[in-house]
């Protein structure tokens, strides 16, 4: 008996989901509710009559603007150093590459506060590089630059993982053909490799931006909380929770909305097979 490609992959045809066991819909629905219900519960606690005034206060606007600026900067930093890292991990073979891949993934499993401590002892005044930077009159810790570094530290693995997976899936056959025709490695990367893995690159960049937007632990440890300088929206929410719970809930919902809009704006529509 022949099994069609649709049945093998479990795609949807009309109203029928081919290849998906019926029991799978139950845990899938539970998982969806597990994500959705807390958001709904938070929305029910918002004071809608004063919502606009809460999210447009001076401190809220400053925190949101700083979060967007630093998240964009950290995403650019992730692209600049993450694309070469993913390329090396996906295409090169040398002793220690598995260890290198594991080290790149470490920020994914570290508590963010541990990352902040590590950054503080690297770039702080008495850190590994901090004393040298101090001699050059460059202070990193407890500055906006520290926010960008903290966000980049925790967001970089998302870009590297997404792009490395896309590179491995795409394979190297087209790159080999381009190189055999005389294209230089940089030309191959620009004209062949990156266009092939563009969806994976875009996905990694969006995940990095979203992770940076929600970063808290490493930021407050390494950068502190100075309004307009290092106090991002997650830090503002944390502080407001102690003094004005209504403002904290309103800002939390704002952060959720911004994150959803960012992901939705960059997500490509995929038509069913």
Name every residue whose Cβ is closer than 8 Å to that of residue 267 and which is 6 or more positions away in sequence: 206
Length of the chain as a residue count: 273
Q: What is d(CA 217, CA 45) in angstroms, rounded to the nearest whole number? A: 25
Taking each continuous run of H as one helix and of E as one strand, the counts in the chain are 15, 2
3-state secondary structure of 132: helix
Q: What is the pLDDT of residues 195-236, one digit of tens each?
A: 999 989 998 999 999 999 999 999 999 999 999 999 999 999
pLDDT of 271 reads: 43
Q: What is d(CA 241, CA 68) in angstroms, rounded to the nearest whole number? A: 21
Percent share of the chain, pLDDT over 90: 58
Report H helices in 48-197: 51-55, 58-91, 97-109, 112-123, 130-135, 144-170, 173-180, 185-188, 194-196
Q: What is d(CA 144, CA 116) in angstroms, rounded to the nearest whole number? A: 14
Q: What is d(CA 213, CA 207) in angstroms, rounded to the nearest whole number? A: 10
Q: What is the pLDDT of residues 32-69, one digit of tens each?
A: 999 999 999 999 999 898 999 989 999 999 999 999 99
Q: How confident is the model at residue 11 (pLDDT cuts 50, 70, 90)?
A: low
């Amino acid at each position: 008996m022949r099994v069609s490609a649709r049945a093998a992959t479990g795609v949807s045809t009309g109203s029928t989901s081919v290849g998906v066991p019926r029991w799978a819909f139950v845990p899938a629905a539970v998982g969806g509710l597990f994500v959705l219900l807390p958001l709904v519960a938070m929305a029910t606690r918002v004071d809608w009559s004063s919502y606009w005034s809460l999210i447009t206060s001076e401190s809220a606007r400053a925190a949101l603007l700083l979060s967007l600026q630093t998240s964009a900067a950290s995403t650019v930093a992730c692209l600049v150093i993450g694309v070469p890292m993913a390329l090396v991990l996906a295409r090169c073979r040398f002793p220690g590459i598995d260890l290198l891949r594991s080290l790149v993934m470490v920020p994914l499993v570290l508590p963010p506060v541990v990352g902040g401590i590590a950054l503080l002892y690297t770039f702080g005044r008495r850190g590994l590089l901090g004393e040298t930077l101090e001699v050059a009159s460059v202070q990193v810790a407890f500055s906006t630059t520290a926010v960008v570094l903290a966000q980049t530290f925790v967001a970089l693995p998302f870009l590297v993982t997404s792009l490395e997976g896309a590179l491995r899936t795409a394979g190297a056959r087209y790159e080999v053909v381009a190189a055999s025709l005389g294209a230089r490695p940089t030309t191959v990367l620009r004209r062949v490799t990156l266009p092939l893995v563009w969806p994976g690159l875009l996905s990694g960049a969006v995940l990095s931006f979203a992770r940076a937007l929600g970063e808290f632990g490493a930021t407050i440890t390494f950068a502190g909380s100075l309004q307009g300088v290092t106090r991002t929206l997650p830090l503002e929410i944390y502080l407001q929770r102690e003094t004005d719970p209504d403002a904290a809930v309103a800002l939390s919902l704002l952060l959720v909305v911004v994150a959803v809009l960012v992901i939705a704006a960059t997500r490509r529509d995929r038509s069913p097979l």
